[in-house]
Amino acid sequence: MTAKGVRRLVMVVCVAGIGGMIAGSIADNNGAALTAGVVTAVAVLCLMVATAVTGGATVGSGERVEELAEDLVADGANETAVRELIRESVKLGRSQRPGHDG
């Protein structure tokens, strides 16, 4: 699932969760309201984890790099060298993140 898909799913779950909390409160069913709240909180935590794991990368950025690599190879560049350049660039980008130890 893409990052955009995760965000959309979390939004749907949050809207449904808020509705569930309101409905549970109106029905005087604390268990339903609490369950809806917990499900909403878990969805938001999942979004936070997904964002942390991807480093906040924009959706499609990997596809763009692949397109550029294919263009370079089509223009005559050595594919092995292009792939090595991409790997080293990713390592460099990861090492420049604040709080990164590696």
Contacts of 55 (CB under 8 A, 6+ apart): 94, 97
Domain limits of the chain? 1-59, 60-102
Contact yes or no for 18/24 (Cβ under 8 A): no
Q: Name the band, by pLDDT with cuts 50, 70 and 90, for residue 12.
A: very high
Contact assessment for residue 14 and residue 38, using Cβ atoms and an 8 Å cutoff: no
Average pLDDT over every residue of 14-24: 94
Q: Which residues contact 18 (CB under 8 A, 6 or more apart)?
A: 36, 40
pLDDT (tens digit, 9 = 90+) per residue, 37-84?
999 999 999 888 877 777 665 555 677 888 888 989 999 989 899 889
Q: Where would I find the H helices in the chain?
A: 3-26, 30-54, 61-74, 79-95
- Residue that wins the pLDDT comparison between 16 and 6: 16
pLDDT band at residue 94, thresholds of 50, 70 and 90?
Answer: confident
What's the one-letter identity of residue 42? V
Question: Would the pTM count as exceeding 0.75?
Answer: no
